């Protein structure tokens, strides 16, 4: 009779369960800020992959099925994280109130894209299509791993200029990043002569940029408003006749999110953009109604929990991936591109965007520096790889993986220390101004 039976599947479930359990006690990070969970999960995934109990690694480079699994798994977590980010923002969207967000989108991201294209082609020798893909995938702030720099829970009022800027950017950057993903896909199927002719340009601008963005915003806003009206009606989950309000908040959140995403994608709009806009639109409908504040927290809490569970699994997978052959043939030039993006290109682009912003230097620097890369980048690359032909795809994956790993390590460890310090500095400065006045 065999008492102890161990196989890779058992080890996977045990490690995953312990990792999920660690989410319950994650508040230890507030007392031990140098212990950051995401890097730890990556390390555990790497160790597990190198152990005798390793499960086969899903490598997106090794077949269409693996690529599709990675694409849809990362797609799911981005969708869930976007709805959570949209629900969390209390400040009403507007040209002035979201000025810091528009700066990140209109200046920081385009400059970052241009900088990465130059580095990828100059240092590594990537083709134009692959360089555009890499830049578009790595330019946006990731909505999944940016938890440490995002606004707090709904109605808590934890919305410093840094947190609002990074949360808004992570939610809306799909409207700017995805057009460049499609640009990379278009370029991957053209010859040099066809690219130089420019005949493709107007189609890309009219359809992938203008039409898809407008549809994403339009569908998201209309869907969010009418869905919120239904939820807060007498027959809705938050309505007066619904018994215990919030009983079905999680189901309501998932239903509305998936429906909005699916509808938008069906009419060729940008689904990520629509999901975030729908959450913002829904919040705008009930903003100022104190009786609804308690309910708003329920779907947000559920989205955070689902996002956390998915993130643990994906970080364990990512840790295994980077030690399972992905980094073979990694060159110093590829490492240099990742390092320059994190330490020079994004911070410099952000500082340029924040010139004249009503914020102290520390706040402008934090906004510029904390452009966290993560699961969204993996999705963009996987999506493009499944829709186009990129001859140097291995190089793109390696640079992206190094950038994500570096970002997780650098930003996840420092953000819980730096962001609160910057916010305290702002409060102290305001207190001094009021005292002197």
Q: What is the pTM of this model?
A: 0.91
Buried-state track 306-324, b at ≥16 Cβ within 10 A, e below 16:
bbbbbbbbbbbbbbbbbbb
Report the alpha-carbon angle 162-355-367, nearest 5.
20
Distance of CA 346 to the CA centre of its chain: 16
- What gap in Å lies between CA 208 and CA 369, rounded to an integer? 29
**The pLDDT of residue 133 is above 90:** yes
Residues in the chain: 437
For the stretch 335-374, pLDDT in tens is 999 999 999 999 999 999 999 888 888 889 999 998 888 8
Confidence at residue 135, expressed as pLDDT on a 0 to 100 scale: 96
Confidence at residue 38, expressed as pLDDT on a 0 to 100 scale: 84
Confidence at residue 287, expressed as pLDDT on a 0 to 100 scale: 66
**294 vs 81 pLDDT, higher one:** 81
**Residues of the chain by 3-state class (helix, strand, coil), percent to 5:** 75, 0, 25
- What gap in Å lies between CA 182 and CA 178, rounded to an integer? 6
**The pLDDT of residue 174 is above 60:** yes
Confidence at residue 288, expressed as pLDDT on a 0 to 100 scale: 56
What is the mean predicted confidence (pLDDT) over 95-124?
Answer: 93
Residue 127, domain member (yes or no) = yes
Quick one: angle between helices 128-138 and 375-387, nearest 10?
150
For the stretch 380-425, pLDDT in tens is 999 999 999 898 999 999 999 999 999 998 888 888 888 888 888 8
How many CB atoms neighbour CB 141 within 10 A? Answer: 31
Residue 204, domain member (yes or no) = yes
Domain count, the chain: 1
Radius of gyration of the chain (CA): 22
How many CB atoms neighbour CB 406 within 10 A? Answer: 17
Residue span of the structural domain in which 206 resides = 67-436
**23 vs 28 pLDDT, higher one:** 23
Confidence at residue 34, expressed as pLDDT on a 0 to 100 scale: 46
Q: How far is CA 302 from CA 61, 167, 288, 379, in A?
A: 33, 18, 22, 23
What is the mean predicted confidence (pLDDT) over 415-436?
Answer: 76
**The pLDDT of residue 24 is above 70:** no
The structure tokens listed for 427 are 């409060």
**The pLDDT of residue 97 is above 70:** yes
**The pLDDT of residue 236 is above 80:** no
* Among 392, 391, 398, CA closest to 377: 398
Report the alpha-carbon angle 7-56-374, nearest 5.
120
- What gap in Å lies between CA 207 and CA 199, rounded to an integer? 14
- Percent of the chain at pLDDT > 90 equals 42
The structure tokens listed for 386 are 């499944």
Residue 309, domain member (yes or no) = yes
Write down the residue that tokens 């990070």 correspond to: 29
Residue 15, domain member (yes or no) = no
* Among 372, 367, 376, 171, CA closest to 280: 171
- What gap in Å lies between CA 364 and CA 196, rounded to an integer? 39
- What gap in Å lies between CA 404 and CA 374, rounded to an integer? 5
Residue 52, domain member (yes or no) = no
**The pLDDT of residue 35 is above 70:** no
- What gap in Å lies between CA 91 and CA 251, rounded to an integer? 26
- What gap in Å lies between CA 169 and CA 103, rounded to an integer? 9
Which domain CATH number covers 363? 1.20.1530
* Among 154, 96, 165, CA closest to 283: 154
Q: Positive or negative CA dihedral for 402, 405, 409, 412? A: positive
Q: How far is CA 392 from CA 130, 257, 398, 434, in A?
A: 7, 35, 10, 57
* Among 281, 334, 341, CA closest to 93: 281
Residue 4, domain member (yes or no) = no
Residue 283, domain member (yes or no) = yes
335 Rama class: left (phi>0) / alpha (psi -120 to 50) / beta: alpha
Confidence at residue 52, expressed as pLDDT on a 0 to 100 scale: 81
Residue 21, domain member (yes or no) = no
């Amino acid at each position: 009779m065999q008492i102890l039976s161990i196989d890779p599947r058992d080890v996977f479930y045990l490690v995953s369960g312990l990792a999920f359990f660690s989410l319950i006690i994650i508040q230890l990070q507030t007392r031990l800020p140098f212990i950051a969970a995401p890097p730890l999960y990556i390390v555990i995934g790497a160790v597990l992959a190198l152990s005798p109990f390793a499960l086969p690694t899903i490598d997106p480079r090794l077949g269409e099925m693996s690529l599709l699994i990675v694409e849809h798994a990362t797609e799911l977590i981005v969708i869930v994280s976007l709805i959570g980010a949209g629900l969390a923002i209390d400040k009403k969207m507007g040209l002035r109130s979201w000025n810091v967000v528009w700066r990140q989108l209109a200046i920081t991201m385009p400059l970052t894209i241009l900088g990465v294209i130059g580095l990828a082609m100059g240092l590594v020798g990537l083709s134009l299509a692959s360089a555009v893909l890499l830049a578009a995938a790595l330019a946006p702030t990731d909505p999944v791993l940016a938890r440490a720099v995002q606004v707090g829970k709904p109605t808590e009022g934890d919305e410093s200029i840094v947190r609002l800027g990074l949360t808004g950017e992570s939610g809306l950057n799909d409207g700017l990043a995805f057009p460049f993903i499609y640009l990379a896909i278009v370029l991957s199927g053209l010859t040099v002569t066809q690219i130089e002719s420019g005949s493709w340009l107007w189609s890309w601008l009219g359809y992938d940029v203008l039409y898809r963005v407008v549809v994403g915003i339009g569908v998201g806003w209309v869907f969010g408003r009418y869905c919120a009206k239904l939820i807060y009606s007498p027959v809705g989950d938050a309505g007066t006749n619904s018994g215990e309000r919030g009983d079905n908040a999680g189901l309501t959140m998932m239903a509305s999110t998936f429906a909005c995403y699916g509808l938008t994608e069906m009419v060729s709009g940008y689904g990520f953009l629509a999901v975030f806009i729908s959450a913002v639109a829904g919040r705008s409908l009930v903003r100022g109604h104190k009786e609804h504040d308690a309910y708003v927290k329920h779907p947000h809490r559920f989205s955070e929990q689902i996002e956390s569970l998915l993130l643990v699994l994906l970080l364990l997978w990512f840790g295994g991936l980077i030690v399972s052959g992905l980094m073979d043939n990694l060159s110093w030039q590829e490492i240099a591109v990742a390092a320059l993006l994190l330490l020079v290109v994004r911070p410099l682009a952000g500082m340029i965007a924040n010139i004249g912003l009503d914020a102290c230097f520390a706040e402008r620097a934090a906004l510029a520096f904390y452009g966290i890369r993560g699961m969204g980048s993996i999705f963009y690359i996987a999506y493009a790889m499944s829709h186009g032909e990129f001859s140097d795809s291995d190089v793109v994956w390696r640079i992206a993986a190094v950038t994500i790993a570096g970002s997780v390590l650098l930003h996840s460890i420092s953000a819980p220390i730096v962001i609160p310090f910057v916010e305290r500095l702002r409060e102290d400065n305001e207190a001094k101004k009021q005292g002197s006045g």
